[in-house]
Structure 1
């Protein structure tokens, strides 16, 4: 399929510009019907964990994909699981590989992620979403279940973890992590979208208040420990960070979540700065792609498609106060990940990390 190929449209186009969102009256809710196949050690769904067999497709612009890039870095899965990165924008059909030479993913040979979905489901009716894991040999999508993918990275891919990989999903805390993650998904990760895509003043005000009530609760929680679950980083931090790092550049203005900036909330802001300068977090963030995606793709919210120049990013490198808490960032046997692969380094012009050479 070429860029000029007049492929027939599908029902997925009806909501592709809003990812997996569907309208419910004047409100928006996330379509949670994902391809729920899992890649596991025992291969019980037909997809056994194998180094080199799969390719993670994850756009840096997308917060749901960003969490998979963070998890992959923290656990050291780079050599076992390759990554394809679409550009920051997409059309009604699909995310596209326009950052690659010739606009084609060099491993899959595709111009559009849609092709991997259609290779397995020719009549796939839902949104073509990232992250997605694709089987390289068949070039067909395996799963796009963003909530399960990172859990499986932590628990099923352990044979390919780097030495010193942190335990992001410790067994003793799983029940609490799961409960917190469900709450954050509804009230924070999705909460910003519910606010931004509200179709009436009444719905907007309801979702706005719910979002800020949740952020206030997190502000209080982060006044008790360095990370969400205590002294060490867990899956919960991996899920919250992509929302927080996008808050002031995008959600505050674009989604009208503007009671105040994140930078004015001491615990949330210092927590965000702390994680941004932690290896595996900030080095996966491309602010230029993030802003290009939201302000360009959401034409119904921003019809001019003008992308703002601000806010200034250098404050993310200012000192934080999180070391006042007990800290065991990587866990008892854990260590920080090494530098990103050369091919996966974020463009220095798109991040303030280059200011200090971190």
Structure 2
């Protein structure tokens, strides 16, 4: 009788593992391994203070990664999010310098990001230009605009402004940026998996012509995805400016690649048609943990992009050629 119950538990576990996406499961296991490894290597890593710092530091990447999941799932890409973030920090700082209410700086920052997304979306969707080329061009142009405005200098934000609370404040012991990222992630998961917009985005990435023939405005959906990506970068820029207390045109130089890496290792298919907001969120956390852990170990900061690139290649290779974790567990249970 006990053997039958034990066999039933094993079969149930194998069934559960089989239903889970292998790339997401692999990412969770990898994240736990990294967590344990850095906890052993550095006594300061697994502390409440450091976990709070990681949550705040990865918040901008996590927010934009959620929106980028929709973009890549639709078969596009957005290389301009880092430049949008930098421009947003500059615009928000400039507006706050005029002593207007902090809410104006927040709204203006997000609006500037959304406008940049609209420009990307219009050229990519309605002018039929590849999103890679469009966002590569706007990545350079928007960064140039930010540098032109500031002449390369940063614009300080007064410490007493309510605006800075968005990046430096806490709620229930956790930083406001982390809460913001969590809210955006929940909205993103609902939008991608439980709303028609998410179904359309996934369908466009799989077979855009079929979705168009079903009566869906595919150009509008793709433009909306890029607009959301721009707005998310705008929000990330507002949080970054508030946390650092400055608007800097030179900020977020490697931001786009970090976000795209988080999305891809999270299980979203670079060719479109498959996306995971939860995976993107975990991917952003994993990259943040790696950056923080290497910093605590006093290793060269130049090794971080090397580790990120190797991780990206490894995960893509494993997803394309590896045996799923579910199959591995099932074989072990049967042996």
Question: TM-score range, shorter-chain basis?
Answer: under 0.3
Query: Which structure's residues are more often strand, by fraction?
Result: 1
| TM-score of the aligned structures, taking structure 2 as reference length | 0.27
Taking structure 1 as the reference length, what is the TM-score of the superposition?
A: 0.26
Considering fraction of residues, name the structure with more helix.
2
Highest Rg: 1 or 2?
A: 2
